[in-house]
């Protein structure tokens, strides 16, 4: 069964702690004291995957910065720096720098945006991959989906059909903040909403928190 991690506003980390299958840690949030303490407290129960925050900031985090954060949090895995504007060679250069600064290859998950990038990396011995949500429709059905991480949620049916190792998403929470149920979102053909940094500063109402929890429960049920 696919494991889920849900990004939530910082004021509500504990409201969803029991629903996390692992911790998908956004690097740019680690500077926040509350977030950092939460991650350290929950690490005893969950594995940590440290993300480079490209989806939120549109900037590739430097390997040296990722190494410092990973050591501070004792992260189990890390998403290698990436960018929509990079060529496969650029992705591989970032991956190699991750090893130079101290990461071992078993820790590093490489984002890929095409089968060409995947093949290019696999030929060089890389075995752990992540695929951003907006690029997955361009991959063939025969792709080995069960061996990769999904960066972002497109729709529950994709998860149910592909059975990825894991998926990180804020969608059930973003929907709840707008008062939308997961079922309503699915009936509307699962329109995507980008996550912006101010999302993490939202102060949710009790009703919104409950709806978000219901959305998460339904998502997991649908993806079984």
Q: What is the 3-state secondary structure (H, E, C) of 169-200?
A: ECHHHHHHHCCCCHHHHHHCCCCCCCCCHHHH
Task: Classify 205 as helix, strand or coil.
Answer: coil
Q: pLDDT digit of tens for each residue in the chain (224 aa)? A: 999 999 999 999 999 999 999 999 999 999 999 999 999 999 999 999 999 999 888 888 899 999 999 999 999 999 999 999 999 899 999 999 999 999 999 999 999 999 999 999 999 999 999 999 999 999 999 999 999 999 999 999 999 999 999 999 999 999 999 999 999 999 999 999 877 669 999 999 999 999 999 999 999 999 99
pLDDT for res 197: 66
CA-closest candidate to residue 83, choices 60, 53, 111: 60
Judging by beta carbons within 10 Å of its beta carbon (0-12, 13-18, 19+), is residue 224 exposed, middle or buried?
Answer: exposed
Contact 87, 120 (CB under 8 A): no
Contact 73, 48 (CB under 8 A): yes
pLDDT for res 39: 97
pLDDT for res 182: 98
* CA-angle at 173, arms to 129 and 24, nearest 5°: 30
Taken in order of first residue, the domains within the chain and their CATH numbers are: 3-170 (3.20.20.70)
Neighbouring CB atoms inside 10 A of 29's CB total: 19
Tokens, residue 40: 């350290």
pLDDT for res 60: 82
First-last CA distance in the chain: 6
């Amino acid at each position: 069964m696919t494991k889920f991690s849900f990004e939530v506003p910082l004021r509500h980390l504990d409201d969803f702690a029991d629903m996390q299958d692992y911790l998908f840690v956004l690097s740019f949030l680690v500077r926040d004291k509350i977030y950092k303490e939460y991650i350290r407290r929950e690490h005893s129960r969950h594995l940590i995957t440290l993300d480079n925050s490209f989806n939120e900031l549109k900037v590739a985090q430097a390997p040296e910065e990722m190494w410092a954060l990973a050591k501070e949090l004792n992260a189990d895995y890390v998403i290698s720096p990436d960018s929509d504007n990079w060529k496969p060679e650029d992705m591989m250069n970032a991956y190699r720098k991750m090893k130079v600064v101290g990461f071992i290859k078993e820790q590093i998950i490489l984002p890929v945006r095409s089968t060409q990038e995947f093949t290019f990396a696999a030929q060089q011995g890389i075995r752990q991959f992540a695929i951003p949500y907006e690029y997955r429709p361009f991959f063939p059905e025969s792709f080995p989906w069960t061996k990769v991480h999904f960066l972002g949620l497109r729709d529950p049916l994709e998860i149910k059909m592909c059975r990825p190792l894991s998926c990180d998403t804020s969608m059930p929470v973003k929907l709840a903040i707008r008062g939308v149920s997961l079922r309503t979102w699915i009936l509307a053909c699962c329109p995507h909403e980008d996550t912006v940094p101010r999302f993490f500063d939202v102060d949710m109402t009790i009703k919104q928190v409950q709806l978000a929890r219901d959305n998460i429960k339904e998502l997991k049920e649908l993806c079984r």
